[in-house]
Amino acid sequence: MLEPKTYDHGGDKTICYLTFDTEDIINVKRKLNQVWVELAKNKGLEVIILSLHEVLKNFFKEDEYRIEAGVDAVEYEDETIEVYHSLGENLKNQEVIENAILDAQKKVDPKNGVLFITDLEAIHPFTRFGPIEQKIYNKINVPIVVFYPGEITGTALKFLGFYPEDGNYRSKHF
């Protein structure tokens, strides 16, 4: 973080994934402020936190399609999967998560700041984070730490431990 490497096979951006088992989601959330934020502050970094749960909650609260689709899903249980798929498409088409990350990075001091992206589990079942990183990678200009519930499998990541392995991340994995 403090000394980013250029010409790395993983890319030239300082995007790091702090990967943890899904069983540890609650524990990681509890320690976010008392451990991770404090550690960053002790290293002289100013932390901005972006919760994807909050991003989705705010989007779906106002999204007209979600309101209509939600009524259908309650009335017709077998349409629930289709509703989730449609909600995910709407979320992706409007690039809600991508725009939220790019907006949040504007609040980060590029010299001594870092963006923590939390609550990735909230994007399931709508999308995965790999395609989001790919879309915005060239627009990232501040260090980012992604708190990633899943598994590291060699050089690939496995979101939530059950999605297929994705080796297209250009970031560093820990």
Buried b (16+ CB within 10 A) or exposed e, 17-31: bebbeeeebeebeee
- pLDDT at residue 51 in the model: 95
169 pLDDT band (50/70/90 cuts)? low
6 pLDDT band (50/70/90 cuts)? very low
Tell me the residue type at 33: N
Q: How many CB atoms lie within 10 A of CB 113?
A: 16
- pLDDT at residue 7 in the model: 39
pTM (two decimals): 0.82
Helix ranges restricted to H, 7-166: 25-31, 38-42, 52-62, 64-75, 80-93, 96-105, 129-136
Q: Is the pLDDT of residue 8 over 50?
A: no
Tell me the per-residue pLDDT of 84-98, one tens digit each, with 9 for 90 and over: 777 888 889 999 999
